[in-house]
Amino acid sequence: MYTLSVTAGFGGTITSSDGYINCSASCSQNYLTGTTVVLTATPAQSWMLAGWSGCDTTQNNTCTVTMNSARSVTAMFTATLLVSLTGSGAITSADGFINCGATCSHNYSGLNGVILTAIPAQGWVLTKWTSCDAVHGNVCNVSTYKARSVAASFSLTSVLSASSSSGGTVISGDGYINCGSACSHNYPTGTTLALAATPAVGSTLNHWTGCASTQANYCIVTINGPTSVSATFAPIQVSFGSLVFNPTTARRVGIALGTLTFASPTPSGGVTLRLTSNHPNIVAPPSTLYVRGGLTSIRFGANVLTVRPTAVTITATDGNTSTSATLNVTPSTNTSVSTRPADVEPAPASKQARQTAAPRPMTHETPSRD
């Protein structure tokens, strides 16, 4: 009696005509000497039998073995990975079995993870993969758990050139365009793309050029050939209304409350103002004042450092336009009343006081001799 060991590769099963062998991995059975065993390989769906090993004879999917000794038989199954592409380029696999510019295939045995890379021809770009398990840029990951078909599509490219003036950047939704001066990227011809103009602090979008359409800060462009777009930015200018202080006269060291009003609401991006004083050693306003968008007024405090009889001019500016106000700094006046003002004559004494008063000394005048 001898042992027959059977191994079925991934992708199918092996059975014997006598029913003792039936496995999709490995199994064995003891047979009397001289017994002839007929084995049949049955591929799983999308698999096929690639071959037998250890048989005496094979025919189609059957293997015949005579048990005159211990025997080992293996059936190998494969699944086909079919690769195709449209456009101009190539597809290669990391294991080297796939390398083609149109259509090619390879039969994989067992469970394999195949890494495919799409290589566009000059002037072309990969637009999409089809039927991959996972896609990372130009790389497609596919597992051969069954017969698979994967396709790559390439398209002719057109260059999109973007530029902007100082004061902002141009950014595309896919991230390939991101610059504050000039940049470019190759896109499949026919691509429609949205670009966003992002102003820097203190700037606003003035206008776009080269767009098919615009909406707010966005430029919509369809790339059907070399295409150029440009964003022009300009400094934000505010329209001042007035600047006042309450109270208008500061009489002591402390905080003078200022109110700055605008003729129209501040721009949506906000604005940074600079405040100056012509006598900063007397009144010191905040050096900068950030005003968020949509406001019509803002209050701030200016430090009164010392009290001198001085008119101090405070100016607010955005670098283009400005407004000013005057804050009078005057010491407090403290008035004290004397009990005997110097400009009031003494009251006359009483009659009794006059009688008891010491007699006024008499004086004798000697007549002059003329």
What is d(CA 357, CA 352) in angstroms, rounded to the nearest whole number?
Answer: 8
- The H or E element that residue 332 is part of is none
Distances in Å between the Cα of 308 and the Cα atoms of 300, 336, 351 are 22, 21, 55
- Mean pLDDT, residues 255-266: 94
Q: How far is CA 296 from CA 142, 205, 286, in A?
A: 61, 21, 19
Residue 311, token pair as written in the block: 């008119």
Confidence of residue 145 (pLDDT cuts 50, 70, 90): confident
Residue 117: what are its φ and ψ, rounded to 5°? Answer: -125, 130
> What is the per-residue pLDDT for 365?
40
With the C-alpha atoms ordered 136, 138, 142, 148, is the resulting torsion angle positive or negative?
positive
Mean per-residue pLDDT of the chain: 88
Give the lowest-confidence range in 70-84, 272-286, 332-346.
Answer: 332-346
User: With a threshold of 0.85, does the pTM exceed it?
Assistant: no
Task: Compute how many other C-beta atoms are within 10 angstroms of the C-beta atom of residue 87.
Answer: 17
Q: Which amino acid is at 75?
A: A
What are the phi and psi torsion angles at 225 (to 5°)? 160, -175
Domains of the chain by start residue, with CATH:
2-78 (no CATH), 79-156 (2.60.40), 165-235 (no CATH), 240-329 (2.60.40.10)
Between residues 284 and 346, which one has the greater pLDDT?
284
Q: Is 230 left (phi over 0), alpha (psi -120 to 50) or beta?
A: beta
- Beta strands 71-86 and 2-8, pairing class: parallel
Q: What are phi and psi of 351, to 5 degrees?
A: -60, -45
Predicted confidence (pLDDT) per residue in 314-352, tens digit: 999 988 889 999 999 999 876 444 444 433 344 444 444
Segment 251-271 shows an average pLDDT of: 90
Q: Which amino acid is at 286?
A: P
Q: Is 353 helix (H, G, I), strand (E, B) or coil?
A: helix
Per-residue pLDDT tens for 160-216? 999 998 889 999 999 999 998 899 998 999 999 999 999 887 788 889 999 999 998
Closest CA to 44 of 18, 79, 19: 79
What would the two tokens of residue 102 be? Answer: 């149109």
Q: Is the pLDDT of residue 39 over 80?
A: yes
Instruction: Reply yes or no on whether the pLDDT at 7 is more than 50.
Output: yes
CA dist 344 → 88, 335, 340 (Å): 116, 18, 7
Specify the range with the lowest mean pLDDT, choosing from 59-68, 93-102, 196-205, 241-250: 196-205
